[in-house]
Chain A
């Protein structure tokens, strides 16, 4: 196992982590501020990818496609918040899960109805295609480096938004005491719609960015959604910093576990057994990580609430 391979795998883990962060950031904001479990967050990811594929197909511009992905997801998010989600804040989590699960089914079949069952084409633009040579003789795809950069930029942008702007103060206040900020004259329902749309836009951006190197198809959001929930549980619900650290931890554990656990097992058993045992343990690794974090800190790494 060469150093080059290890560095490449660490980069892969980072890239996976920052993409998870885009999903988890919206989820954790929505849960933190509104106390809402939104299972349909994965559908917004899918909507972003489909919007991007459509716009990229029509205009050929990748940047326009990304803008369209964010706009479409934000708009859908805002509409859904006003039409459905708003009625759920006061109800318990079980009702929220039920209603947002129904939204998943509606969005999935609706998307199939509009776009058909076949996956759509969305590919890396020529100016981001191909590998680049990094110091030390590492060949790494330029697009994945760009994903890492975008993820870090979004993290910085969110940090600035929440720590340094008026909207950020309202969001933080909303997490702490929503009755009080309503009493102080903040239009709480507008704030909720805005936060929901912001979370949706990030999910849409993630869907478009990831859909470009994966497959744009109905149901693409659900596997990511599960990981995003693991991330916010590890990071602590409601914490952007927690979501960031949790996403990187999950990304690195999942990527490196898949590579090194089989190698580790090969020291003790024959290759075939090592491969299958290692692969099985690797797919459990992030859940094991989650359990360990929860034993150590029951509210997650940066969770404020008990």
Chain B
């Protein structure tokens, strides 16, 4: 009897080994101030894997602590000693710039669930690099387009003084047709905005555009609401999503923000995603969670057709992107970045919970501005 059990165990073990055919390396931010984003991407990704019921995908998850040097070390270890074939997970553009070019040069496929720096969409694009979320400028371009539709003529714009902040203001100005009442670069990580709010008050702006991710946005929105300035606020979904709304509170009510995803996009995949995410983790999903979920489903759809070891076939399967996205139809442009609709959402209260509701379409089937520079 004992021997039989042993044999069964050995067989199960070897079956398990044989089944784990694809190794996926996920480097994401799980500690420090930006951990909320990484945790949501990870949870969305793992939820999709769990629902697929597949046991031939092994995911190695490591925390990059939001530090480029650590991300590079982890990537080297994953590629060289763990032999991962697909990588994903990075939240921040500066980390993506440190890791992605090296990884794809070594033949690894990289599926970005969040960061979309312009370099990787334009001249620095790569045949093995796919962005499932957006190019960094997309949501800001949506905000500019929505400002035109709303009839804003004089916007005061502000963002932190770092590459993604500059991309944000560039993106807004690319589509926005009115004048600027002011343009401010704040310090990265700044938490007090009294000085900027005073300038907004003193200006003749009719609206305020802001890109202040994470804690910066929480601080700004609370202080802005308390200042009584009251000019309408517009921004990308990052500053108004599920991960921070609870901390901002009623100060966020009525703010308009743009996003490629919202929990009320009406399609069966999205409904099932929102419901199952809430059931699994006990909280509402954020746009980051939806991006993690879509990334995993894209990967699964490609694995159904080919293995990463057969690089050309696997790449073609990724390019086809035949999976049910939480955003509805999903399509890659020629530079492997999504061509997608950006919605305008408004922060509303459902019962006691602050969340977003779609109020209109900012831009339809929008491709990024750098695709033309990409030569694959």
Q: CB within 8 Å of B: which residues of A?
A: 2, 4-5, 8-9, 12, 15-16, 108-109, 112, 117-121, 123-124, 129-131, 139, 141, 143-144, 210, 212-220, 223, 255, 258-259, 271-272, 275-276, 279-280, 283
Contact of A217 among B183, B228, B247 (CB under 8 A): B247
Interface of A is mostly: helix
CB distance from A123 to the nearest CB of B (A): 5
Using known A-B contacts A12-B194, A259-B199, A275-B185, determine if residue A130 contacts B247 with beta carbons closer than 8 Å. no
User: Which chain A residues border B194 with CB–CB below 8 Å?
Assistant: 12, 15-16, 141, 144, 255
User: Which chain B residues border A280 with CB–CB below 8 Å?
Assistant: 161
CB distance from B63 to the nearest CB of A (A): 11
Within 8 A of A (CB), among B208-251: 214-216, 218-219, 222-223, 226-228, 243-244, 246-251
CB distance from B190 to the nearest CB of A (A): 9
Contact of B226 among A8, A210, A213, A259 (CB under 8 A): A213
User: Smallest CB-CB separation from A12: which chain B residue?
Assistant: B194
CB distance from B174 to the nearest CB of A (A): 16
User: Smallest CB-CB separation from A19: which chain B residue?
Assistant: B192
A-B residue pairs in contact (CB < 8 Å), sample of 19: A2-B202, A12-B195, A118-B36, A119-B215, A120-B247, A121-B249, A131-B228, A139-B227, A139-B228, A141-B227, A215-B215, A215-B216, A216-B247, A217-B247, A219-B32, A220-B191, A255-B194, A279-B186, A279-B187
A118 and B243 contacting across the interface, CB-CB below 8 Å:
yes
User: Smallest CB-CB separation from B251: which chain A residue?
Assistant: A123
The answer to whether the Cβ of B333 comes within 8 Å of any Cβ in the partner chain is: no
A237 vs B186: C-alpha distance when bound (angstroms)? 31
B226 and A124 contacting across the interface, CB-CB below 8 Å:
yes
User: Which chain B residues border A272 with CB–CB below 8 Å?
Assistant: 183
A141 vs B227: C-alpha distance when bound (angstroms)? 5
A124 vs B248: C-alpha distance when bound (angstroms)? 11
A223 vs B189: C-alpha distance when bound (angstroms)? 8
A123 and B222 contacting across the interface, CB-CB below 8 Å:
yes
Using known A-B contacts A139-B228, A213-B219, determine if residue A5 contacts B249 with beta carbons closer than 8 Å. no
User: Which chain B residues border A212 with CB–CB below 8 Å?
Assistant: 222
B218 and A12 contacting across the interface, CB-CB below 8 Å:
no
User: Which chain A residues border B191 with CB–CB below 8 Å?
Assistant: 210, 214-215, 220, 223
A130 vs B195: C-alpha distance when bound (angstroms)? 17
Question: Which range contains the number of B residues in contact with the other chain?
Answer: 35 or more
Using known A-B contacts A123-B249, A259-B195, A279-B161, determine if residue A219 contacts B33 with beta carbons closer than 8 Å. yes
A259 vs B182: C-alpha distance when bound (angstroms)? 13
B198 and A117 contacting across the interface, CB-CB below 8 Å:
no
B202 and A4 contacting across the interface, CB-CB below 8 Å:
yes
B198 and A5 contacting across the interface, CB-CB below 8 Å:
yes
CB distance from B73 to the nearest CB of A (A): 18
A130 and B185 contacting across the interface, CB-CB below 8 Å:
no
A293 vs B184: C-alpha distance when bound (angstroms)? 30
A121 and B195 contacting across the interface, CB-CB below 8 Å:
no
B33 and A12 contacting across the interface, CB-CB below 8 Å:
no
User: Which chain B residues border A119 with CB–CB below 8 Å?
Assistant: 36, 215, 218, 244, 246-247
User: Smallest CB-CB separation from B37: which chain A residue?
Assistant: A117
User: Which chain A residues border B244 with CB–CB below 8 Å?
Assistant: 118-119, 215
B198 and A131 contacting across the interface, CB-CB below 8 Å:
no
The answer to whether the Cβ of B31 comes within 8 Å of any Cβ in the partner chain is: yes
A276 and B161 contacting across the interface, CB-CB below 8 Å:
yes
User: Which chain A residues border B214 with CB–CB below 8 Å?
Assistant: 215, 217
User: Smallest CB-CB separation from B228: which chain A residue?
Assistant: A131
CB distance from A12 to the nearest CB of B (A): 4
CB distance from B181 to the nearest CB of A (A): 13
CB distance from A146 to the nearest CB of B (A): 11
Using known A-B contacts A220-B215, A223-B189, determine if residue A121 contacts B228 with beta carbons closer than 8 Å. no
Using known A-B contacts A2-B202, A144-B194, A276-B185, determine if residue A215 contacts B247 with beta carbons closer than 8 Å. yes
The answer to whether the Cβ of B35 comes within 8 Å of any Cβ in the partner chain is: yes
A130 and B226 contacting across the interface, CB-CB below 8 Å:
yes
User: Which chain B residues border A139 with CB–CB below 8 Å?
Assistant: 201, 227-228
Interface centre among B184, B192, B251 (most CB of A within 10 A): B192
The answer to whether the Cβ of B347 comes within 8 Å of any Cβ in the partner chain is: no
B192 and A214 contacting across the interface, CB-CB below 8 Å:
yes
Interface centre among A2, A4, A16, A214 (most CB of B within 10 A): A214
A218 and B187 contacting across the interface, CB-CB below 8 Å:
no
A117 vs B91: C-alpha distance when bound (angstroms)? 15
A4 vs B198: C-alpha distance when bound (angstroms)? 9
A130 vs B184: C-alpha distance when bound (angstroms)? 24
A215 and B35 contacting across the interface, CB-CB below 8 Å:
no
A215 vs B243: C-alpha distance when bound (angstroms)? 12
A4 vs B228: C-alpha distance when bound (angstroms)? 16
A283 vs B36: C-alpha distance when bound (angstroms)? 27
The answer to whether the Cβ of B39 comes within 8 Å of any Cβ in the partner chain is: yes
User: Which chain A residues border B246 with CB–CB below 8 Å?
Assistant: 118-119, 121
A279 vs B198: C-alpha distance when bound (angstroms)? 16
B199 and A5 contacting across the interface, CB-CB below 8 Å:
yes
Contact of B195 among A120, A123, A255 (CB under 8 A): A255
User: Which chain A residues border B39 with CB–CB below 8 Å?
Assistant: 117
Since A121-B249, A215-B216 are in contact, a sample of 7 more A-B pairs with Cβ atoms closer than 8 Å, ordered by chain A residue number, is A2-B202, A4-B202, A118-B244, A119-B247, A130-B228, A139-B227, A214-B222
A21 vs B262: C-alpha distance when bound (angstroms)? 43
A104 vs B250: C-alpha distance when bound (angstroms)? 32
